[in-house]
Structure 1
Amino acid sequence: MKRCEHPDPVLIADIPFIGNTKLSAVKTMGKMSATVQNLFQLAMKNKYRATFIIFVKFISFISIILYLRITDEDAAQHYNLPVEVKCPGTVPYTLPPSSPLPGHGIYFVETSDQTNPNFLFMCSVESAARAHPKTKVTIFMKGLTKPTLPKNLGISLLRCFPNVEIRPLNLKDLFANTPLASWHASSQFRWEPYLLPILSDACRLVIMWKFGGIYLDTDVIVLKNLKNLTNSLGIQSNYLLNGAFLSFEQGHKFIEVCMQDFVDNYNAWIWGHQGPQLLTRVFKKWCSIKRLRDSKGCNGVSTLPREAFYPIRWQDWMKYFEAITPTDFNKLFQNTYAAHVWNKKSQGTRLKTGSKTILDQLQSNYCPSTYEIIKMHL
């Protein structure tokens, strides 16, 4: 009898008894069943890991979508704004002393390709420039690729301040001759969910190491002069430090240890692992402590209390949009050097000028030139 060679799958019941043909088929199907069962068991054993990976991927996707949405909202906010502004009479025209740049100044960093500062960015730089009229305030922007600055409202206003300088950010040059050089070279060839904030975390460390001075996030409004704060950073909570403000001497050992920890314990999948968590774990090792409350400083590095830079917790960011009396406002910020506004949370929430909310009073008091523009165009 001729063996059937049908190309389609057949059932065991359809195979006639010819020697051991059916027995072989049964064995083959048994092996296939065992294989499928093993794969199923393996999947069940790793279901938590698989679920975790899927969850992380999903969160990363949502984070990117939200970031792009916020970026689009910022672009829409600036769409109908003029590209130039006449320098307000409220701009102080005190020229800083001549000194080589950069070095021992105040630094802001924009690690995205955006070159159009939003209102909070403008306010942060203006408040720093006003509080330090004789100190150079440098803005590093990754998106600057041409010798001439772009024409937009934010750049136009900030150029009115004689102690503000806007410079291109060349990441390869910045990270050169530091532990982060090899990390940056390899990071360009892989996708990471939090690359922009991690780049910001890396830049602030290297800037402190190479130049020394003060680093500020672009959502920090300065209330007082910061020059008397050296080799220090702020406490965000009972368990965490934050790098929205850093003040360190050039080449400080603490920052060197932070850069090395950045590389040795790198984790791109945990939010804040290269930022607040890095600063916290390095400080604990630096002072040989288990809890932040066990030490306010040691070995030449000090931490400042929460009210110095984070008087309103990130969980309570909506308070910035609540009205408050001037008396209560002064009481709230009496021990504050600069207020971190938690832009990642508050971005997209519209500010109503004249509302006497906390953010309204911060901007009207400490960045009046930006505030006037907000009143005209919002």
Structure 2
Amino acid sequence: MTICARIRYYTCHRLIAAVVISCLVTTSVLLVPLVSLLSRSIDASQVKYGYKLTYKTWLDHLCPRSQIRNAPAQQLKWEPPSAQTIFFMQTSCANALTAREACAVESFAHHHPDRPILLLMTSLTINHTNPVMQTLLQLPNFRAAYLDLDVVFSEEPLRTWHRDKNWLFVEKRAGMALSDASRSEILRRYGGTYTDLDAIALRPLPNGTNWLAEFYGGRVTAALSSFLPGHSLFQRVVDAIPRVFDPYACCSIGPDLVTAEMRHLCPDTFSSIVTEDLQGPAVCSDITVLPISNFYPINYEMGPRGFSQLLRSGTGQEFLKNTNAYSLHLFSSLTARDVLYLGGGSILEEVAKKYCPKVFKIQRSISDVI
């Protein structure tokens, strides 16, 4: 073989090798994202957020504006409630409460000075410069702690449900889904008394435990409830959450699920309890169902016309004189944007002035609205 022939021979083989390598590289580049996409398609939430997200990743998705990396020394720590604790949950990632939310917390601390009051937050930090938070932190029986979802959901079946991040499928409802699931799991594991952040206490809660409230539409709700740890109701609720969770529905793992499991616990009596006009407590299995009027003195079903009573001038004193309710529910999802100018003597103003006096005073010093 001549020198020229040898050059042509080796050049040809090099070209063939280069083409083969190029094809292999191109194929791998195309296949990797394709395989990744196919694996992610197993779960809709995984397409968007990836599979088996780490702690930091889910925190970044839930709380994208979190400043935890800038203030590591001030991070809150997880603290579970006890059976004696009255606890709240803030799942919006805010590092401070609104004046109305702070009023709710102070009102329960005011009526229960001998019980621990615990605020669990998905934010790892508190805004210590916020006046209403400064006021709450001075209450002797109040504490704020981190709502550590990895700890709360560390047991099955919610461990897998949390790992797969199905609650992030509809971002605007993620906080609501987390609140419903966390409340049920915390009550199951630790017990305690839970109340929503938009309920202002008007008097001390009922003695005893294993109670919840009647709700609208023939349902019951755990939005204000008290249970011993390990109760069968919340074991049933927690077991059902992965199966019935609907990210597009507001109440699939809230009052709808609690109601469904209550029906299983007392099938013969539950329908009569929620369809009759309850004037006093009713018993379902070992659970006490308290009348809707005990916690919802403003009629939710009346919509804006009903909630306008909260802000109407001159109605507060009459309400306080006549109500026998344990709490006043504000339904913040419907009323949060309604501004109340102080000085008119409305129901909300008079209730706040009487039962959260410290928050009311500080709020009035910085603003004429609440």
After superposition, where does 1:321-340 map in structure 2 within 5 Å? 321-325=311-315, 328-333=318-323, 335-340=324-329
- Selected match of 1:121 from 88, 101, 119: 101
TM-aligned CA deviation for residue 263 of structure 1: 2.1
- Percent identical: 27
Distance 1:134 1:344, change over 3 A: same
Distance 1:194 1:239, change over 3 A: same
After superposition, where does 1:34-73 map in structure 2 within 5 Å? none
- Selected match of 2:252 from 273, 280, 302: 273
CA distance in 2, matches of 1:362, 1:284: 35
After superposition, where does 1:248-259 map in structure 2 within 5 Å? 248-259=227-238
CA distance in 2, matches of 1:227, 1:164: 20
Matched letter for residue 210 of structure 2: N
CA distance in 1, matches of 2:124, 2:364: 28
CA RMSD of aligned residues (A): 2.1
Give SS of 2:144's match: strand
Match for residue 239 of structure 1? 218
Give SS of 1:166's match: strand
CA distance in 2, matches of 1:128, 1:206: 22
Instruction: Kindly indicate whether residue 363 of structure 2 is the aligned counterpart of residue 355 of structure 1.
Output: no
- Selected match of 2:308 from 308, 312, 318: 318
Structure 1, residues 349-368: CA drift from partner, whole Å, max 9, x if none?
11122211111111011101
TM-aligned CA deviation for residue 346 of structure 1: 0.6
Match for residue 158 of structure 1? 136
Matched letter for residue 353 of structure 2: S
Deviates more, 1:264-273 or 1:304-313: 264-273
Instruction: Kindly indicate whether residue 263 of structure 2 is the aligned counterpart of residue 284 of structure 1.
Output: yes
CA distance in 2, matches of 1:353, 1:277: 37
8 A contact 1:318–1:346 mirrored in 2: no
Match for residue 142 of structure 1? 122
TM-aligned CA deviation for residue 242 of structure 1: 2.4
Structure 1, residues 80-112: CA drift from partner, whole Å, max 9, x if none?
xxxxxxxxxxxxxxxxxxxx9631201011112
Give SS of 2:164's match: helix
CA distance in 2, matches of 1:234, 1:375: 33
TM-aligned CA deviation for residue 377 of structure 1: 1.6
Match for residue 293 of structure 1? 275
8 A contact 1:235–1:241 mirrored in 2: yes
Matched letter for residue 157 of structure 1: T
Q: Return the TM-score normalized by structure 1.
A: 0.69
Distance 1:362 1:327, change over 3 A: closer
Deviates more, 1:181-190 or 1:250-259: 181-190
Distance 1:150 1:370, change over 3 A: closer
CA distance in 2, matches of 1:368, 1:258: 37
After superposition, where does 1:151-190 map in structure 2 within 5 Å? 151-187=129-165, 190=168
CA distance in 2, matches of 1:348, 1:179: 37
Match for residue 302 of structure 1? 288
8 A contact 2:319–2:347 mirrored in 1: yes
Matched letter for residue 161 of structure 2: W
Matched letter for residue 182 of structure 2: C
Give SS of 1:348's match: coil
- Selected match of 1:370 from 337, 359, 362: 359
Give SS of 2:129's match: coil
8 A contact 1:236–1:313 mirrored in 2: no
CA distance in 1, matches of 2:107, 2:349: 14
8 A contact 1:201–1:275 mirrored in 2: yes
Matched letter for residue 102 of structure 2: M
Q: Return the TM-score normalized by structure 2.
A: 0.70
CA distance in 1, matches of 2:133, 2:142: 10
Match for residue 205 of structure 1? 184
Runs (4 or more) in structure 1 with deviation over 6 Å come to none
Q: What is the total number of aligned residue pairs between the two structures?
A: 276
Instruction: Kindly indicate whether residue 221 of structure 2 is the aligned counterpart of residue 219 of structure 1.
Output: no
CA distance in 2, matches of 1:189, 1:360: 36
Distance 1:190 1:345, change over 3 A: closer
CA distance in 2, matches of 1:350, 1:367: 18
Instruction: Kindly indicate whether residue 111 of structure 2 is the aligned counterpart of residue 131 of structure 1.
Output: yes
CA distance in 1, matches of 2:195, 2:321: 24
Matched letter for residue 248 of structure 1: F
CA distance in 1, matches of 2:90, 2:183: 11
8 A contact 2:317–2:345 mirrored in 1: no
Where does structure 1 lack aligned partners over 5 or more consecutive residues?
1-99
Match for residue 107 of structure 1? 87
Where does structure 2 lack aligned partners over 5 or more consecutive residues?
1-78
Deviates more, 1:276-285 or 1:121-130: 276-285
CA distance in 1, matches of 2:234, 2:151: 18
TM-aligned CA deviation for residue 322 of structure 1: 1.4
TM-aligned CA deviation for residue 129 of structure 1: 0.6
CA distance in 2, matches of 1:283, 1:323: 40
8 A contact 1:353–1:374 mirrored in 2: no
Distance 1:309 1:229, change over 3 A: farther
CA distance in 2, matches of 1:369, 1:162: 13
TM-aligned CA deviation for residue 237 of structure 1: 2.2
CA distance in 2, matches of 1:235, 1:187: 31
Distance 1:375 1:173, change over 3 A: same
